Amino acid sequence: MDTYNLRQDYTKNILIEEHISDNPFTQFNNWFQDCIDNKLPEPYAMSLATVDKNNCPHVRTVLMRNFSERGLHFFTNYASAKGQDLLVNNKAEVLFFWQALERQVRINGLVHKLDYAQSQDYFSQRPFASQISAIISPQSRIIENRHELEKEYSKAANHYSTDNLPNCPDFWGGYCLVPDYFEFWQGRASRLHDRIAYQRDSKSKQIENWNVFRLAP
């Protein structure tokens, strides 16, 4: 099978220097608000790329749970494959593909763990069933079969209750990706897409200083 004849031209929006913010966080916020206004499904879902100890890249979807100038938060099992990758190499990239708006955003930076209190705070706001799943799932490990997983789930769900809620386990919690680089991509007609990038100015003492440039599509 090939997809040579499946193609779409992108004509919905433009991204030009006159309209962008000097600050990539504001620019991201503006585009994220467009996703909300246009009712995109799960615009906070992002592909997270990490690299393992053998320099092999891995990518998977996670949910962005918070975004501010301090960074992007996501939550996961620290003992998972991605957790192992981040232990040996804390450089990562995330990617949002907002197809309905013909937009893509790439954000690159260093990742650090959130402190336990922040993880507990988020964990306590998750639905009970999600809390139980996080506790019993040895994420990324080989398991015998689905039945074993459901057995562990039932055991834990019976042990805890709304009067006896679980705490966030120490193997589960949040990470924060602190952006050093953003690229905003807007699909345009005839494959002449817009790409505007922001690179953090590492020489600048002011943390909010960014070099802005246009990339060829």
Catalytic residues: 191
Look at residues 88, 87, 98 and name the one whose alpha carbon lies nearest to residue 175: 87
Among 10, 15, 72, 76, the residue binding ligand FMN under the rule CB under 6 A is: 76
- 82 lies in the site for ligand FMN, by CB under 6 A: yes
Between 142 and 216, CB nearer to ligand FMN: 142
Q: Hey, what are 62's tokens?
A: 């996670």
The rounded Cα 40 to chain-centroid distance in angstroms is 16
Between 169 and 199, CB nearer to ligand FMN: 169
Instruction: Give least dist CB 53 to ligand FMN, A.
Output: 14
Residue 17 has φ and ψ, to the nearest 5°, of -55, -35
Instruction: Say which residue the tokens 């990470």 belong to.
Output: 175
Among 74, 96, 182, 198, the residue binding ligand FMN under the rule CB under 6 A is: 74
Among 75, 175, 198, 210, the residue binding ligand FMN under the rule CB under 6 A is: 75
Contact positions with ligand FMN (CB under 6 A) in 84-103: none
Look at residues 179, 178, 186 and name the one whose alpha carbon lies nearest to residue 31: 186
- 70 lies in the site for ligand FMN, by CB under 6 A: no
CA dihedral 108, 112, 115, 118 (to 10 degrees): 10
* Beta-carbon count within 10 A of 163 CB: 5
Measured between alpha carbons, how far apart are the two ends of the chain, in Å?
A: 27
Q: Hey, what are 173's tokens?
A: 């919690």
Contact positions with ligand FMN (CB under 6 A) in 30-49: 45
How many residues sit in the footprint of ligand FMN (CB under 6 A)?
14
- 131 lies in the site for ligand FMN, by CB under 6 A: no
> Which residue stretch of 59-67, 86-94, 98-106, 145-153 sits at the interface with ligand FMN (rule: CB under 6 A)?
59-67
Q: Hey, what are 32's tokens?
A: 């994220």
State the residues that interact with ligand FMN by CB under 6 A: 45, 58, 60-63, 74-76, 80-82, 139-140
